């Protein structure tokens, strides 16, 4: 790897051995489907989950939480570590200098964010502040961070996700990288096991569209409306989106969290693909780590589309 080819997060490292520390909807296309077809379509089933039309009346008193991401903390590895030149016994352990903080080393081959991405907004004066997880990012300068205990970003397109990763010196994961990281070193279909256990991941949430927009579902306009599909209320409804890392069992031997469920994750596919499912569906487009939706181009976004970043290991 040449100096110019090194990931941006390595450029701050100063010499050998120096280590610096700085503090959806996965669905079919809607088009002009008739209202009855839409109401009973796979998209409707996935977006509604098990919600009943009367659900809104049951949750009137729910409060809405508006917290977003914390500021990032990044650690840098030595730029002169050449892993392939080391004997097997001398190879660094995962997270021992090969990847930035809050990224996991996947068999020393690449790095992946431990948590789904949240965002910080870069202000004109260079200052940064947490960006609301429930708002689209169009018109804002943002970058991706990987933090535990925050709500991950939804409402983001594949193009915007790639740009946010790049702004942090990272990139979107390639589809196979993402799947490898999700399955863990044990190569399990759900990361934590080969069979799904409901609730281990955030995979059985409530339907926010069913809660707020049942009338639109009934008349066939809900899923074809960008305004409804990007309504800021959706991921703020209790019982929907979960904070990163809050489902502690939704992990694997690599130490990555929430790759199954919670929010769809865009990957690096020019045709448009997101993987892993979200809080209402982790099976309809493939099971667990095999969940893959390619029905939308990279400009598409809705409340269920999020991402995480990958990066190359230090060389």
State the pLDDT confidence band at 186, using cuts at 50, 70 and 90: very high
CA distances from residue 119 to 133, 134, 163 in whole angstroms, order as listed: 7, 11, 12
pLDDT for the residue numbered 43: 52
E strand residue ranges, the chain:
21-22, 74-75, 103-106, 110-113, 117-122, 128-130, 142-146, 171-172, 264-266, 274-275, 292-293, 305-307, 309-311
Q: How far apart are CA 142 and CA 164, in angstroms?
A: 6
Domain residue limits at 220? 1-315
CATH number of the structural domain spanning residue 195: 3.90.1580
Write down the pTM of the prediction.
Answer: 0.74
* Phi, psi angle pair for 37, to nearest 5°: -65, -45
pLDDT for the residue numbered 73: 32
Question: 52 or 304: whose pLDDT is higher?
Answer: 304
> Is the pLDDT at 21 greater than 80, yes or no?
no
**Which tokens sit at 118?**
């949240």
Say if residues 293 and 275 touch (Cβ distance below 8 Å).
yes
Which of 16-25, 30-39, 78-87, 258-267 has the highest mean predicted lDDT (pLDDT)? 258-267
3-state SS, residue 96: coil
Q: How far apart are CA 48 and CA 121, in angstroms?
A: 32
CA distances from residue 149 to 164, 168, 183, 246 in whole angstroms, order as listed: 20, 20, 22, 7
> Is the pLDDT at 51 greater than 80, yes or no?
no
In this predicted model, what pLDDT tens digit does every residue of 276-307 receive, in sequence order? 999 999 999 999 999 999 999 999 999 999 99
Domain count, the chain: 1
Q: How far apart are CA 219 and CA 53, in angstroms?
A: 13
């Amino acid at each position: 790897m040449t100096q110019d080819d090194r990931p941006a997060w390595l450029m701050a490292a100063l010499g050998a051995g120096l280590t610096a520390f700085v503090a959806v909807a996965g669905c079919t296309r809607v088009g002009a489907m008739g209202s009855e077809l839409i109401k009973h379509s796979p998209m409707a089933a996935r977006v509604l989950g098990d919600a009943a039309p009367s659900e809104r009346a049951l949750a009137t008193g729910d409060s809405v939480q508006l917290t977003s991401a914390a500021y990032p903390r990044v650690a840098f590895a030595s730029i002169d570590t050449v892993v392939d030149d080391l004997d097997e016994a001398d190879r660094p352990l995962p997270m021992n200098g090969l990847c930035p903080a809050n990224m996991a080393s996947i068999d020393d081959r690449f790095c992946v964010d431990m948590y789904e991405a949240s965002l910080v907004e870069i202000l004109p004066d260079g200052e940064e502040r947490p960006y609301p997880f429930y708002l689209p990012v169009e018109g804002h300068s943002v970058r991706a961070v990987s933090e535990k205990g925050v709500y991950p970003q939804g409402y983001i397109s594949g193009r915007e996700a790639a740009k946010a990763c790049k702004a942090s010196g990272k990139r979107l994961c390639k589809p196979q990288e993402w799947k490898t990281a999700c399955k863990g070193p044990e190569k399990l279909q759900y990361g934590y096991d080969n069979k799904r256990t409901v609730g281990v991941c955030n995979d059985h949430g409530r339907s926010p569209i069913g809660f707020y927009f049942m009338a639109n579902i009934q008349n066939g306009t809900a899923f074809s409306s960008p305004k409804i599909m990007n309504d800021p209320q959706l991921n703020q409804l209790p019982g929907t989106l979960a904070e990163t890392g809050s489902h502690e069992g939704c992990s694997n031997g690599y130490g990555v969290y929430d790759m199954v469920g919670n929010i769809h994750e865009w990957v690096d596919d020019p045709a448009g693909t997101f993987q892993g499912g979200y809080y209402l569906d982790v099976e309809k487009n493939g099971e667990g780590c095999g969940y893959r939706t390619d029905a939308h181009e990279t400009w598409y976004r809705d409340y269920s589309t999020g991402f995480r970043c990958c990066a190359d290991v230090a060389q």
